[in-house]
């Protein structure tokens, strides 16, 4: 079973479901030619997609255009349903940084057909995770910067306060759609600057003062 490790703690959370939000930064929605949504776009990833910092992202045979999406990831610590913003904020146990690897060529075909994004988003190694920092140890203020370099070059760099929907709002909204439980992860969307990765690339992602990860593409 895959777990989330909390830094400076013996706590470990078995990973339950992974809920992802799309188009949560206006500039990123625009760069892919999408409208800025009135409600977050929501999709899922399986826990089988998870790898950790130090791991290898494997290019699936059915894509030639895998993109990086660097995201703040929230760990849910207790069961909530139809949560208020306060209850939603309380349910967030820890923060990390993650990569929502996406097969952009496959996704474009799926979008054209009106099909779900599953094949573009759920492949093995498509969810890369850092270790997490507990909310007791660090309070996110959204002044932090989210950053990704590929082979040492900056590809994505943005303040977290550019998110259209903030963490507690996202968690509250998702809890109106489905029960959230201990061990669920929420990917909160990516800022502008998404782009293709190639075999041999080295990716380093960070949320300043919060979490870091490093991985390669094979």
Which is closer to Zn ion, CB of 140 or CB of 186?
Answer: 186
- Binding of residue 158 to Zn ion (CB under 5 A): no
* Neighbouring-strand partners of residue 148: 156, 205
Cβ at position 11, least distance to Zn ion in Å: 26
141 DSSP 8-state letter: -
Q: Which residue is nearest to Zn ion (CB)?
A: 100
State how far the alpha carbon of 201 is from the alpha carbons of 111, 155, 192, 197, in Å.
27, 13, 19, 7
**Span 76-135, contacts to Zn ion by CB under 5 A:** 100
3-state SS, one letter per residue, for 185-211: EEECCCCCCCEECCCCCEEEEEECCCE
Whichever of 100 and 131 has its CB closer to Zn ion, that residue is: 100
Beta bridge mates, 163: 25
Binding mask 160-199 for Zn ion (x = CB under 5 A): ------------------------------x---------
Q: How far is the CB of 24 from Zn ion (least distance, A)?
A: 8
Q: How far is the CB of 43 from Zn ion (least distance, A)?
A: 9
Residues in contact with Zn ion, shown as a per-residue x/- string from 51 to 80 under the rule CB under 5 A: ------------------x-----------
State the nearest-atom distance from the C-beta of 102 to Zn ion, in Å. Answer: 6
**Tokens in use for 156?**
């994505």
The per-residue DSSP string of 145-186 comes to: EEEEEETTEEEEEEEGGGBSS-HHHHHHHHHHHS-B-TT-EE
**Count of residues touching Zn ion (by CB under 5 A):** 3
205 contact partners, CB below 8 Å, separation of at least 6: 70, 97, 98, 99, 128, 130, 146, 147, 148, 212, 213, 214
For residues 11 to 50, the per-residue mask of contacts with Zn ion, x marking binding by CB under 5 A and - elsewhere, is ----------------------------------------
Contact residues toward Zn ion (CB under 5 A) are 69, 100, 190
């Amino acid at each position: 079973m895959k777990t989330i490790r909390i830094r400076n703690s013996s706590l470990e959370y078995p990973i339950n479901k992974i809920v992802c939000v799309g188009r949560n930064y206006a500039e990123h929605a625009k760069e892919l030619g999408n409208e800025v949504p009135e409600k977050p776009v929501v999709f899922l990833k399986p826990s089988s997609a998870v790898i950790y910092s130090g791991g290898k992202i494997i290019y699936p045979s059915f894509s030639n255009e895998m993109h990086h999406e660097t995201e703040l990831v929230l760990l849910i610590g207790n069961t909530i349903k139809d949560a208020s913003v306060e209850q939603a904020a309380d349910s967030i146990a820890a923060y990390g940084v993650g990569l929502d690897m996406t097969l952009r060529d496959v996704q474009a075909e799926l979008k054209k057909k009106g099909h779900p994004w599953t094949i573009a988003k759920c492949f093995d190694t498509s969810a890369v995770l850092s270790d997490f920092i507990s909310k007791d140890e660090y309070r996110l203020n959204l002044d932090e910067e989210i950053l990704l370099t590929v082979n040492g070059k900056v590809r994505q760099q943005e303040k977290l306060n550019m998110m259209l929907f903030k963490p507690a709002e996202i968690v509250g909204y998702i809890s109106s759609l489905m029960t959230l439980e201990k061990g669920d992860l929420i990917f909160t969307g990516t800022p502008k600057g998404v782009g293709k990765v190639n075999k041999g690339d080295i990716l380093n992602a960070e949320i300043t003062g919060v979490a870091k990860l490093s991985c390669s593409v094979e």
